Each structure stands twice: as structure tokens, then as C-alpha cells.
Structure 1
Amino acid sequence: MIRRTLAALAVLMAFPAQAEVDIQEITSPAGVQAWLVEERSIPFVALNVWFQGGGTLDLPGKRGATNLMVGLLEEGTGEMNAQDFAREAERLAASFDYEAYDDVVAISARFLTENRKEAMALLRKSIVEPRFDQTSVDRVREQVLSIIRSDAKDPDRIASQTFDALAFPDHPYATSLNGSEVSVTSLTRDDIVDAHQNAMALGNVIVSAVGDISGEELGELVDDLLNGLPAEAAVLPDRANYQLEGGQTVIDFATPQSVAIFGHEGITRDDPDFFAAYVLNQILGGSGFDSRLMDEVREKRGLTYGVSSFLVAKDLGELYLGQVASANDRIGQAIEVIKDEWKRMADNGPTTGELLQAKTYLTGAYPLRFDGNGPIANILVGMQMDNLPINYIATRNDKVNAVSMEDIKRVAKRILRPEDLHFVIVGQPEG
């Protein structure tokens, strides 16, 4: 209990919100690149090991294999079953997390300095030498199938998956990384082993660490941790070709409230106009109650409890999306207001007050993200995923403040496409 308490405090206290983040670029003896923020004040380390590709690396006909494989990584290794593995992690006061996403397999570890060697030996076994025993495969498969069945009854998931299927047909993005009941039921242990080899390799790994560890120690740790993985991952699929036109798709679903996902093609993360688009979105439908869409759809008309928009920059395709929910007899009006505001922003841009308010919020909220070793490690690995420069943290707010009204209006005309907005509505909308 004492060790767990110390680990929890380390997450919360290692970095004050306003701390300067000094990032070191580390190259391990074996040539693996890593980013490190060394912080010796508390004997605790947060480590992220991400593998680019994620669910997009599923082989044809094997959709869901990567997701199922990742769910099995903590189910035992060697002579250890899932219970043995969990007990050993508990004994070491270490926590491991394994997640599969469209573009990445994300593994994170949190451990105390005194237990570093044992914790990393245990983590290595799960990454490099997973058991994938049939009993665990069958049990985790049933868990995944339960999620798939639940998603099939969830209006939000139905809307989101339908939009993806319409936007990116013939691409992995078109289907859930969980797979379907048919594809997951047919997966064999050999398929899981193939997914492991295809998705987790030295050639697609990204590493970040924050805490009580030096660059030299991190280099040795990374080499020991990853020793035994294949050199190269499977080849990524081609970029997703956006194919959805403006309009609407209605999916009949017995519920008193309709939900809608709406949007069109987006903007890449490395586009020179990305920061202007980011500020623009904060004004149009970003977080909080001050956006145009919240003001017009909720505050003035009471058509919804919440409406938002967001940029989605996946590795192989980009979307500009929004979401809203409203009673069946009012969703039509909500959609019309959203269309009008999308066009009004495209034609006229924001006001000076809106631009200033968005900049103030975005720059003021940014330091609050750096509230512990774990969040900082996540930021570092995300920066590497997006190919951002190592000085990005120091310059990010300057880039936000540099966005001018001229930039905003130009980019609004460029990326907001009212005529291309497509609404996927799940429910029983009237009218």
C-alpha cells in the first residue's frame, strides 16, 4: 500500500503545471530513438512504448486481430498465467497499460526506481514473449465480441462507424478496429501471432520517458526491453481516399433522441495552416460553452445539451467532424442551425473578440496538461507520432498567438465546406 501511494503521488507531484520541460534526444546502443525528460526529485518513472500502424496493419480478412492481440499481452507469459502476471505487477507496485488504436499500439508503464529492473523484465515478457494460450484467446475473444454487440446497440457508435464506412470505403478506417463478430470469431492463435509480428517491431517503435532515469540508463533499458522483437513491421496501407459527398444518411433506431455525426474532409497535422484551423475550430465548436455552435444551438434555441466540432488528423486520412444529439422532433432544426453557422463562419470568419477569447483559452489551458510524469510522457510520444520538433512545447503558444484575423478568415474559406457537410443521423428524426 505504501508503494502504491508513493507511485500515485509521483504521478501528481513530479512536475508543477508551469514547469519548463527539458527534452533530451536519446539513441540507445542498438540505435533506438527515445525522448527523455529527466526528473530526479521523486524515484518514479513513466515510460511509453508506442508502435505506429495499429489496427491499420490487420491483414485482409483478419480485422480485429491487432486489437485482440493487444488485449492478450497482459494475459500471461512463459509459465505465468494472467493471474500470476497481475500479482507480480502488484507486488512490484508497477502498472502497465496496453491499448490498440487505428494508428498505434500504445503500451505504457509506471514504476518505482527501486523496482525498475524487475518491472522492466516483467514488461518485456509481456511485449516480446506473450503466451497467447488458447484459454486466454477464447476468454478475451468473448470480451471483444461483447463490446462489438454492445456497440451495435449504441447510437453514438453506430453513427461514428457509419460515417467512417462512408468516408473511407475499402480502407481499414472504414471498419472498427475491434473487427466484426464474423472476423473476430474466425481468428486463430496463428492469426494473433501474425498480428504481433506485424504490429510490434523495432522499425515502428516510438519511446518516451519522464522521471528518475538518465539518458544512458534509458538507452540500456530500451534495448533490454525490446530485444527479440522483429526488425520491421508490416507495410502500412495506402492513404485513405475520402469519398463522402454532402447530404445526410438516416439510420432508423428506436430512441426518443437522435444523435448525429457530421463533417467533411479535414486538414493534415503538418499543413502550414493547421494552427489557424485549430484556433478556428475552437471558435466554431471547440471545448467549453463559448463556441458558436454551443451559443446558437444550445444557448439561444435550447435544441441540445451539447454540440461540438473537432479536427481528426489520422496518419492516413483527415476529417473535420462534429456531433450533436437532440429530440427526434428537434434534430432537424439543430442540423439546419449547424449548417447555417458552418457557412456563416466560412463566409465571414470570427469576430475580433472571438479570436482573442480563443487564443486566451488555448494558451492558458496548455500548461495545465503538464501535471505529472505520465501526462508529460504521453505528450512526448504524441509529438514524435506527429513528427513535431523537439522545441514544440516551448513554441506552441507562440504559434497560437501568431494566428491573425487574416489567417483565420483565409483558412475558414479554405477548410470549411458547407456544401460538403454530411450528417449521419441515428434515431427516428421527424421531418
Structure 2
Amino acid sequence: MGGCIPLLLAVSAVLEAQATRAPARRPVARPTAATPAAEPPLSPAIMGDDSLTMKFEVSGIPVILRRVTANNVVAANLYLLGGSRQLTPATQGIELMLLETSERGTNKYPRDLLRAKMAALGSAIGVGAGADWTTVGLRATTAGLDSTWAIMADRIMAPRLETPDVQFVREQFVTAVSQRKDSPDALLDFLADSMAFSGHPYSLEPTGTESSLKTITPAQLRDYQATQMVTSRMMLVVVGNVSRSTVERLVRTTIGRLPRGTYTWSLPDPPADLPGGYVMEKRQLPTNYLQGYFHGPKATSADYAALRLACAVLSGRLFGEVRQRRNLSYSVNAPFVERAFSLGGLYVTTTQPDEVLTIMLQQIDALQDGLITQEGLEQLVQQFIVTYFLDNETNADQANLLARAELYQGDFRRATRFVQELRAVKPEDIQRAARTYMNKVRWAYVGDPAKVTPARLLRF
């Protein structure tokens, strides 16, 4: 939650250097939403040229392949589309439970054989469930790719799902979910996400809840595997030193044989335009935890990059004011959450939440008044680009970048346009994004209710 400290320091320094040149803040009423920027049409001229990456289809499964010859590591991410829209309150966690149970044995690979082969290969297969898709991620060397792929494919196509294994995984999941109450940050994340997306499918928990996990049966898992492991729900992104013909062969001879199904990917409906609000969870803790979210633009909007940078600017200002100057927190930032419909946020852990809330509101007002200059923005963008790509330099990270561009923005080549989009943002775009989106904040608070004034939370 603390964010990237070097970037925040750089942002703070940039803004401090220009502070004397920034225009005086004028009184502004809490903003009404400005008109978002128009979404630019895509054209080959602005898409960027990524000659290392291609898209093709194998047995009805879209495949994006980026050929990277600098190392012999292959990352293959299989995306099972739908995410929280696949779920009901009673089935939260079902897909993740199915895939984790598959690690305990398949038709071709009983548990002990599966684990022995994975250990000998030195490969890894990981599973992660998110709001819009579940990812089954393979990491292998080029020499071990075929054998690792065979195991991953069989986990998807033919898991055993024996009752003792399901019960074992269920107990692990229930324990993990129940421990969320013991971690203030984990509880805060859960409450904040639920507040931000009340009534929306995103409010459902892909990792499950205690009540849903306790009632999902082996029969339900088998039915889900039979009906939902279909090629229409799949997209594969491969990054590494591997040829197209190899990828085509691996897909065609394994998961490409699954039923087609009738699933069609689409962006989720926008979340409801909810008023500001808050939820509190009383805890006796050394400090208090606050996380607030406001809804941002969809990923295809020109405002997407502007809000991303506006959150970076706000993070820098909060770091400078709250942590460096006043020593009110060891962790404060303004996160930007990448989804089909983005989120911006405010996070802090502090013993003095009222004082920090006042600072947060002041810094948002400053952004809405036009805090940053062109010179300061150019320095910020350069720092941001360096940090962002350092955080996304592995083959697996590149796979996720390509997937988000393809699924959220409609074309994997938008990933190569990322730098251009950031550099095209002007100070007035950041001001507009702050005025349009940085309001109607929905808060989660974990700590001592006596330390925070509810009316302050509702001023945002």
C-alpha cells in the first residue's frame, strides 16, 4: 500500500521546486463533474509498431506472442475471462478453488508424480483470481516448456477433484479468508472494495468468503469444470524465446480440444454513480487505517492516463506533506487501480486521521486549481515512465501489460502506446481529471472510531 518511495520522493521534489511559480489557489466549490475528454479513434499511425509481438488464433483461442530472445525464460499466462461476473454470492471463490485443487492431481499426473515433475523441471504454475479474469500463469525455461505446459493443460482439462483434496483446499481457503480479519490492511482492502462497488459484480470476492467456501461441493467443482473450462473464455499471452509454431502445437494438442462454449468477452457495465460514504470497523490498534476510492474513467478514455498521473502527483504531495513535513504517517499514497473502469484512491495509516484528512482535501483542491506546471509535469512523466517499466520488466509482467491492453483497450498494441499517452498529458488534463473524478470518495476505516470525524469523510 505504501507505493514506490523513489517515485514519491521525485514527485515531491518536482512539485516543491515549482511551488513558488504555481498560481495562487482560488476558492472553489466542491466540483461538479467536468465533461471527460473525448475518446480518440485508434489508427495505425498512433498505435505504435511492435514488430516483436503478434496475435493469432489457435482452435478458437486468441493468442498474443511476444518473442523475447534475451533470456530462456518463458511466461505463458492463460486468462479465463469473466472474473467476478462468473460468480454469485453463493459461488464466490469457486474457480480459484477448482484450480488450486487441480494442483493435487490430474488424470495423467497423480499428486506425487505432478509434484516430482514440477520439482525436477524447476518450473512454476501459479493461479490468481481477479475482478475481470482468473490467470493461470506458467513460468518455465525453453527446455522445460513442453513438459510444464502438459501439466498445466491437464490441470485445466482433467483435474481429479477428489473429495479429500477438495476438503483440504477448502480448509486452507477458509483459514486464509478468516485471517483477513487479523490483518488491518487486508480487512481494509476488502471493506474499501465492497464500498466502492456496492451493487456491482466487482463487489463479489473472486477468492471467496467464509460462507461461500464452506458450501461449495466437489460436485459443483466438477460441474463448473465441465461447463466453464471452454475455449470461448480463454486468451493466452506468451512472452519468451519460443516460436509461433511451438505455441500453436501446444495449444492445438491440449486446451484447444476443449468445448467451444458460448462465452463472449465484453467490458463490464460501469459502476453506479454512488454518493460519498464510509464504513467503519472498530479495532484496538496502534494506528488507524483509511482507504478511500473514487471512480475513474474507463480504460479507453483519454482521461485514463491523465488520472493515472494525477494520482501520482497527489501521491507525491501527500508523501511530502503527511510523512516528510509533519511525520503523521509511515505510509500514505494515492493509488491508481487498473481495471476496465479505473479507480483512484487515498490511503493512509495514521494516529491522527482527522488531520490527515484535512491535508488530503487541501491537496485535492490544489490539483483541481491547477497545481502543476508543464515543466514539473515533464519531469514527473519521465520519472514515472522509468519506475513503471522497472516494475514491469519481467516476461510475466509484459504478458499482463499486453493482456490489459487487449482486453481493456481493444488492442494489444495499445501497450506500446503507453509512453506516448503519458507524454501527451498536459497540466490542464490533470486539472480536469482531478475536478472530474476526485470526488464522491467512499471510505473504509479500520481503527478507533473516536479518532475520526465522519463529517470530514463526507467532505470529499
The TM-score range, normalised by the shorter chain, is 0.7 to 0.9
Question: Do 1:162 and 1:424's aligned partners in 2 also have CA atoms closer than 8 Å?
Answer: yes
Give the match for residue 249 of structure 1. 279
Q: 2:320 aligns with which of 261, 276, 295?
A: 295
Secondary structure of the residue that 1:157 maps to in structure 2? helix
Aligned to 2:348: 324
Q: Distance in 2 between matches of 1:133 and 1:403?
A: 54
Aligned runs of 1:71-82 on 2, under 5 Å? 71-78=100-107, 80-82=109-111
Instruction: Tell me, in whole angstroms, the C-alpha distance in 2 between the residues paired with 1:138 and 1:190.
Output: 12
Q: Distance in 2 between matches of 1:244 and 1:142?
A: 36
Alignment partner of 1:94 is 2:123: yes
Given candidates 429, 435, 446, the residue that maps to 1:426 is 446
SS at match of 1:213: coil
Q: Are the structure 2 counterparts of residues 370 and 305 from structure 1 closer, same or farther at C-alpha, using a change threshold of 3 Å?
A: closer
Counterpart check, 1:344 vs 2:366: yes
- Which residue, out of 398, 415, 423, partners 2:420? 398
Summarize the Cα distance change of 1:59–1:251 in structure 2 as closer, same or farther, 3 Å threshold: closer
SS in 2 for 1:314: coil
Residue of structure 1 equivalent to 2:151: 122
Aligned equivalent of 1:309: 334
1:37 aligns to 2:66 (yes or no) = yes
Residue type at the aligned position of 1:325: T
How many residues are paired up? 402
Aligned to 1:260: 290
* Compared CA separation, residues 136 and 234, structure 1 to 2 (3 A): farther
CA-atom RMSD in angstroms:
2.5
Following superposition of structure 1 onto structure 2, how do residues 122-271 of structure 1 map, counting pairs within 5 Å?
122-197=151-226, 199-232=228-261, 239=269, 241-242=271-272, 244-271=274-301
Task: Supply the distance in 2 between the matched residues of 1:139 and 1:219 (Cα, whole angstroms).
Answer: 36
Match of 2:313 among 283, 293, 301: 283
Structure 1 runs not aligned, ≥5 long: 1-19, 286-290
Work out whether 1:58 is the aligned partner of 2:87: yes
Could you tell which deviates more after superposition, 185-194 or 221-230? 221-230
Give distance in 1, aligned partners of 2:364 and 2:71. 49
How far 1:245 sits from its partner (Å)? 2.1
Contact 1:258 1:325 in 2 (8 A): yes
CA distance in 2 between counterparts of 1:228 and 1:92 reads: 25
Q: TM-score, normalised by structure 2?
A: 0.80
Q: Equivalents in 1 of 2:50, 2:394: separation in Å?
A: 11
Change (3 A) 1:247 1:387: closer
Residue 131 of structure 1 deviates from its aligned partner by 1.0
1:360 matched to 2:385: no
Amino acid at match of 1:303: L
- The whole-number CA distance in structure 1 between the counterparts of 2:224 and 2:329 is 42
Change beyond 3 A, Cα 1:43–1:308: closer
Contact residue 55 and residue 66 of structure 1 kept, 8 A: no
Name the CA distance, whole Å, in 2 between partners of 1:54 and 1:406: 35
The answer for the alignment partner of 2:430 in structure 1 is: 408
Deviation of the 1:97 alpha carbon? 1.4
Comparing 213-222 with 31-40, greater Cα deviation is found at 31-40
Partner of 1:376: 398
Against the structure 1 CA distance between its residues 245 and 203, is the aligned structure 2 distance closer, same or farther, given a 3 Å change threshold?
A: same
- The 8 Å contact of residues 403 and 412 in structure 2, kept in 1 or not, is answered as no
Tell me if structure 2 keeps the 8 A contact 1:266–1:319: yes
Output one character per residue of 1:290-333: Cα deviation in whole Å (capped at 9) or x when no partner. Answer: x0111121122111112111222433x54222211001xx1111
Residue 411 of structure 2 is aligned with which of 369, 389, 399? 389
Residue deviations 1:180-223 (CA, integer Å, cap 9, x gap)? 22221111012212333455321121211122321222122222
Counterpart of 2:334, as a letter, is S
SS in 2 for 1:426: strand
* 2:106 equivalent to 1:106: no
Amino acid at match of 2:288: S
2:60–2:260 Cα contact (<8 Å) kept: no
Q: For residues 64 and 131 of structure 1, what CA distance do their matches in structure 2 show? A: 18
